[in-house]
Structure 1
Amino acid sequence: MSSRLARSSALTVVALCSTLIVLPASSAIGNNSVESPRLHEIQGSTRISPFAGKHVTDVPGVVTAVRSFGKARGFWLQDPEPDDNPATSEGIFVFTGEKTPDVEAGDSVRVSGDVSEYYPGGKESGGQSVTQLTKAEWTAASKERKLPRAVTLDGGLVPDEYAPPAEDGGDIEPLQLRPEKFALDLYESLEGMRTRLKDAPVTGPTSQYGELWVTADRFENPTPRGGTLYGAYDQQNGARVKVSSLLPSAVQPFPNADVGDKLRGTTAGPLDYDAFGGYSVRATDMGELEDNKLKREKTRKQHKGELSVATYNVENLSPKSEPEKFTRLAEALVQNLASPDIVAVEEVQDNTGPDDDGTVAADKTLEKLTGAIKEAGGPAYEWRQIDPADKADGGQPGGNIRVAFLFNPERVSFTDRKGGDADTAVEVTDEDGTPQLSANPGRIEPEDEAWKASRKSLAGEFTFRGRQVFVVANHFSSKGGGDLDGDQPMDGRIQPPARHSEPQRIDQAKLVNSFVKEVQSVDPDAAVIAAGDLNDFPFSPSLDALRDDEALSSPMDRLPADERYGYVFNGNSQALDHALTSPGVGGVDYDIVHINSEFHDQASDHDPSVIRFRP
């Protein structure tokens, strides 16, 4: 811990104007008030302050940063005279609500207020707390003090292990912090303190909220395009840190960064924790954007005898979406995906989008999309889908998202059969040794509890060059949960975090797996593809359930391990979208086409993927 400042706990020294006054470490006043404690005493060596619920007076420190916007205004205070315990933070946030505090960085002040633990997102979410001072009053002692030296976050400081061990579902709050051993403990020991990163590589692009993700260790599970791969539940990549800015945009606009870019120079500010990604550097100094000029990928065109099947989550698409979104999605399908023969499309909304007016039809949405594709020089796609019952399938309220098929009738044919509706389960019949769907398209067990508040999987029967091909379009339940509680955060106080939404996806996967086996019971060599946004990882129990008994396999596994991703969340490159194939589908060429997730300018938050094979 050589990068931390030396600490001394014997005496407290603070400058009042130009005079040095020696204060005792602390003294109690009554049962619920403490006079002149130091910040390391308030923070303590666990995640919860030993002073929580108490009133403290005359807490000395130097203002290091001010948040002068939003509903959570205030300032960060840091003690320039640290103790020698690396587990105790020397910083804290002083909360002033919607009132802009009348302090500036460099002010030496004494603060009185109530010590509290604030849980961003609510304690029930499983996140960690932020120790802060509320109902605060302060007096200025001097101005233009030198700021405490920032702690440099780098690969040598951040431990390889992510979180301290706890019993299953255990709360790590009572545990003593071990910042030399665990990344989460290190960040907690720096809560509220000035930190900095040098030449930080961007691993998560700038979001609409003016945030991005960087890594303090460029060697931690890198992807070929500059990201950080999330390849296992115990591969959390603890060197990731979020960056937001405390600087007015007029002074320094927030950079529009893509994965693989760099914040050249120093990015520095107090370390904070929030509900949308965990630990964050609130930058008072922002490195200069170095553009790595990341390119959007293009896949090759399928050969004449190859069938290409793609999956693409178009992120809440409706006629209410901006016209540019339709244009960009269409151009991507034509130019970047080379006009796939069949496309499983997810997050198609109804004709009135987020308006909760009882509309469930999506014909206008799909007509607008297929029209844009034709204008972009693509084929005259036809489409098939089944309208859901109103508000039964989750997603954006009123949007009635669903999966749908697009297909090029010049390359494949679709045999329409009556009977497909929101509630009727598709059956597989045996027609002289040939499997046939009772409804085409048809939903897989739509009344099963596994699909509650979630999209129902849609099966379609196609013919390509005389060969029958079955495609199942999927959009499994979200990690945010449907009617269930969402998954607990990776960076939260419950370790390991509970994956509350997982059992529903496992049950959904079992239903799709059973459907595939029904087709194979009629024709063991049937060509079946299950594609879509499965909202889960290649190494998850959900994917294991989908592949059960080798009914399906994952051609993604043939890619190099560091290329298996198509979504970026909190700076982690990960795989949520999949295309699995039955043994009857041989010689699969699989490609994840990176055009969205790594870029700040996105048509969707997902990258599409495509498989090609010769039936």
Structure 2
Amino acid sequence: MRFYTIFPLLLFGLLSPVWYPAQLDVTGQLLITELYYDTPGDDGQEEWIEITNVGTAVILLSDIRIGDEESSGGREGMKRFPEGAQIGPEQSLIIAQTAVGFRALFGFNPHFEMIDSDSTVPNMRNSRLWATGDVALANDGDEVLLLQDAAILDAVNYGDSTHYFAPSVAGVFRGQSIERVPANCDSNTAADWQPARVPTPGTVQLDAQCTVVMAAELETLPTIGDIQGTTDISPMVNEIVSFRGVVTGWLEDRNANGITFYTLFVQDVPGTEDGDPATSDGIALFLGRKRPSYQIGDQLRITGQVTEFFGYTEIDDDNLEILVEGGQSPLPEPVIWDWSDATLTELESWESMLVAVPDAAAVVGATFSSCALIAAENADRLFQRNEQAPTGLVLPIIHTSDVDCTGFPQLKTGDRISNIRGPLIYQFDQFKVVQQEPAALHIDQAAWPERPLPLIPTANQISAATLNLENYFDAVDNTGTLAEPKPSEDDIASRQAKFVHLIGNLLGCPTLLGVQEVENEPLLATLAEALTQPCGFRYTISHLDSPDARGIDVALLSDPRRVSVGAMRLQQVCTTINTGIVDSTIDCPTG
């Protein structure tokens, strides 16, 4: 065991201009190593948090956040490190509430302070996009977490909080701290922590090797393949099961009501699989609103109820028990994606397993909201002309988060993308890959297509086009729900400018223009007015409010110089695709 003392002199030059290498994931390298929350005097002045780089490389801290708010948008606190901050290998840094309060207790300055009290000590920055309050560690119990983007690098809960693991780290008496011993061992359990009667800011104990529990040394449990079975419904559905797995990925998903849910993906520990190619070796753990602190490579022992969520086998979050048995376990080899063999039966046997696309794939659906793309074997654009979805022909690739999609590439149809790898999930009747490392994706940009010539009708012709305006909403909150988009005035103006260019220059001001997904007629009126300059006329608007509660309407814009609309009405039409819509006003033949 080694003892290291980090002196405050290391602060000098911390923020000096230097060249920084590109930083990737630092999971398992940057850890919370000591908390001082119940101080002798004023907690709001004297609290502090210690972090340590237990890795072998310099870690850049500018985009790292630390605080006690576990949920995005919450009312506790989250802070960001100053621009240019970094931490060296085996170095510890102290983040104090105030430098004055810390110095009065320990005789030297912390590396950072959250509340400005000393101009010589760098201030932490607020992270208001994550939390609206201030960091204040509750003496009865609280959580502290380190974030990189939306991923948790490390987390600890103490006292009466069991948010990340149970049992929690036991509380301590006033004037004592809790510290991680050894500082470089992380099992995501209370066993990593012990009380310190005398706090030791800047001093940590590093062990040469952390003990990892091997699956062969543990009790025999069913494999994940046993739980998944050979059909699309688990043979153990609704049963309570215990099993073991290694973490292969995670997903953060926010629904239309603004509620964020989390899912963890685990797979049989390599060497313990059932060996049956008809059964999946992976399964999803639904964590509900609880943000996971587990890391890829953690070996877990799980007890929970098997459920089927719209055809997706997962373990429910109700009474879910997770025990970390070790970290940095080897990951299973991914299943190699085969475009020619990607049938529904084959994909079901890969559900929640790691998959990898061996060669570059073509982008056939551009990035949606910076969080997803559609890949295919070939670059030809695909059209769904019947009810049968093109399963296997296309593969959606999604970010680990649809809340914060930082790092996901902006792409266009025709680009080629390689290094696709992640758990294969089943969501909204589609199999998708959750790309765990967006930075690993390699993009070969395709040339931009030639600009199409607008259709110019002759004297005896008219031109017609349709255009999906894709959630063209105003800034007024009509529903009071998070499901309704509420763009800013700048966003609305920007979208209108794009529509004017598209309709006026690329489409050539069609005689008839059918539009979809617009909230109301006033938006179309301002668009029609803006189009008078490139088109030389003002479109007539034919619009009726849709019964769709979301405000997604259709409308017709027409050139009054060439056509006139005599009458209009809303009416469903018949289709061979089973939409699930029943309308008593229309009689569609069978099929």
Query: Given the two structures, how large is their TM-score scaled by the length of structure 2?
Result: 0.53
State the 1:302 CA deviation.
2.4
State the 1:62 CA deviation.
1.3
Query: After superposition, where does 1:190-589 map in structure 2 within 5 Å?
Result: 190-197=350-357, 198-208=359-369, 210-215=371-376, 217-218=377-378, 223=380, 227-234=381-388, 236-246=390-400, 253-264=407-418, 266-275=419-428, 278-286=430-438, 287-295=441-449, 297-302=451-456, 304-315=458-469, 317=472, 322-340=492-510, 342-347=511-516, 353=519, 362=521, 364-375=522-533, 377-383=534-540, 385=542, 388=544, 393-397=546-550, 401-407=553-559, 409=561, 412=562, 414=564, 441-443=566-568, 446=569, 455-456=570-571, 476=572, 498-501=578-581
Question: How big is each residue's C-alpha offset from its partner over 1:473-529, in whole Å with a ceiling of 9 and x where there is no partner?
Answer: xxx5699xxxxxxx9xxxxxxxxx844349889858x9xxxxxxxxxxxxxxxxxxx
Q: Distance between the aligned counterparts of 2:397 and 2:340, measured in 1? A: 20
1:68–1:101 Cα contact (<8 Å) kept:
no
1:147 is matched with: 331
Evaluate the alpha carbon distance shift between residue 301 and residue 398 of structure 1 in structure 2; reply closer, same or farther with a 3 A threshold.
closer
Evaluate the alpha carbon distance shift between residue 76 and residue 304 of structure 1 in structure 2; reply closer, same or farther with a 3 A threshold.
closer
State the 1:268 CA deviation.
0.9
1:379–1:408 Cα contact (<8 Å) kept:
no
Q: Distance between the aligned counterparts of 1:407 and 1:348, measured in 2? A: 21
Does structure 1 residue 62 correspond to structure 2 residue 232?
A: no
- Does the residue aligned with 1:206 lie in a helix, a strand or coil? strand
2:370–2:408 Cα contact (<8 Å) kept:
no
State the 1:68 CA deviation.
6.0
State the 1:253 CA deviation.
0.9
AA partner of residue 368 (structure 1):
T
Q: Distance between the aligned counterparts of 1:50 and 1:110, measured in 2? A: 20
Q: Distance between the aligned counterparts of 1:131 and 1:347, measured in 2? A: 37
1:319–1:368 Cα contact (<8 Å) kept:
no
1:116 is matched with: 307
Evaluate the alpha carbon distance shift between residue 245 and residue 47 of structure 1 in structure 2; reply closer, same or farther with a 3 A threshold.
same
1:186 is matched with: 346
- Does the residue aligned with 1:307 lie in a helix, a strand or coil? coil
2:456–2:463 Cα contact (<8 Å) kept:
no
State the 1:372 CA deviation.
1.2
Evaluate the alpha carbon distance shift between residue 507 and residue 383 of structure 1 in structure 2; reply closer, same or farther with a 3 A threshold.
farther
Greater mean alpha carbon deviation, residues 102-111 or residues 247-256: 247-256
State the 1:284 CA deviation.
1.2
1:613 is matched with: none
Q: How many residues align?
A: 354
Evaluate the alpha carbon distance shift between residue 62 and residue 298 of structure 1 in structure 2; reply closer, same or farther with a 3 A threshold.
same
2:322 is matched with: 138
State the 1:267 CA deviation.
1.4
Q: Distance between the aligned counterparts of 1:334 and 1:202, measured in 2? A: 28
Evaluate the alpha carbon distance shift between residue 402 and residue 141 of structure 1 in structure 2; reply closer, same or farther with a 3 A threshold.
closer
2:297–2:328 Cα contact (<8 Å) kept:
yes
1:384–1:441 Cα contact (<8 Å) kept:
no
Question: How big is each residue's C-alpha offset from its partner over 1:577-603, in whole Å with a ceiling of 9 and x where there is no partner?
Answer: xxxxxxxxxxxxxxxxxxxxxxxxxxx
Query: After superposition, where does 1:24-173 map in structure 2 within 5 Å?
Result: 36-57=221-242, 59-67=243-251, 71-79=260-268, 80=270, 81-119=272-310, 128-134=311-317, 135-158=319-342
State the 1:78 CA deviation.
0.7
Q: Distance between the aligned counterparts of 1:99 and 1:73, measured in 2? A: 6
Q: Distance between the aligned counterparts of 1:280 and 1:42, measured in 2? A: 21
1:92–1:133 Cα contact (<8 Å) kept:
no
1:247–1:283 Cα contact (<8 Å) kept:
no
Q: Distance between the aligned counterparts of 1:301 and 1:94, measured in 2? A: 53
Question: How big is each residue's C-alpha offset from its partner over 1:287-340, in whole Å with a ceiling of 9 and x where there is no partner?
Answer: 123322433742344264452321223536576581233322222222112233
Evaluate the alpha carbon distance shift between residue 63 and residue 505 of structure 1 in structure 2; reply closer, same or farther with a 3 A threshold.
farther
- Does the residue aligned with 1:442 lie in a helix, a strand or coil? coil
State the 1:52 CA deviation.
1.4
Question: How big is each residue's C-alpha offset from its partner over 1:530-584, in whole Å with a ceiling of 9 and x where there is no partner?
Answer: xxxxxxxxxx97xxxxxxxxxxxxxxxxxxxxxxxxxxxxxxxxxxxxxxxxxxx
Q: Distance between the aligned counterparts of 2:308 and 2:551, measured in 1? A: 36
State the 1:155 CA deviation.
2.3
AA partner of residue 77 (structure 1):
V
- Does the residue aligned with 2:420 lie in a helix, a strand or coil? strand
State the 1:89 CA deviation.
0.6
2:424–2:433 Cα contact (<8 Å) kept:
yes
Evaluate the alpha carbon distance shift between residue 504 and residue 246 of structure 1 in structure 2; reply closer, same or farther with a 3 A threshold.
same
AA partner of residue 426 (structure 2):
Y
AA partner of residue 270 (structure 1):
P
Evaluate the alpha carbon distance shift between residue 367 and residue 193 of structure 1 in structure 2; reply closer, same or farther with a 3 A threshold.
closer
Of structures 1 and 2, the one scoring higher in RCO (CA 8 A, sep 6+) is 1
State the 1:147 CA deviation.
0.4
Q: Distance between the aligned counterparts of 1:118 and 1:318, measured in 2? A: 32
Q: Distance between the aligned counterparts of 2:301 and 2:473, measured in 1? A: 55
2:163 is matched with: none
Q: Distance between the aligned counterparts of 1:101 and 1:207, measured in 2? A: 25
Q: Distance between the aligned counterparts of 2:463 and 2:452, measured in 1? A: 15
Q: Distance between the aligned counterparts of 2:218 and 2:527, measured in 1? A: 70
Evaluate the alpha carbon distance shift between residue 130 and residue 107 of structure 1 in structure 2; reply closer, same or farther with a 3 A threshold.
same
Query: Given the two structures, how large is their TM-score scaled by the length of structure 1?
Result: 0.51
Question: How big is each residue's C-alpha offset from its partner over 1:93-119, in whole Å with a ceiling of 9 and x where there is no partner?
Answer: 122222233321112222122222223
Structure 2 gap ranges (5+) = 1-210, 255-259, 476-486
- Does the residue aligned with 2:531 lie in a helix, a strand or coil? helix
Evaluate the alpha carbon distance shift between residue 337 and residue 86 of structure 1 in structure 2; reply closer, same or farther with a 3 A threshold.
same
1:173 is matched with: none
1:51–1:115 Cα contact (<8 Å) kept:
yes
The two structures, once aligned, show a CA RMSD in angstroms of 3.6
AA partner of residue 42 (structure 1):
I
2:285–2:314 Cα contact (<8 Å) kept:
no
2:196 is matched with: none
AA partner of residue 392 (structure 2):
G
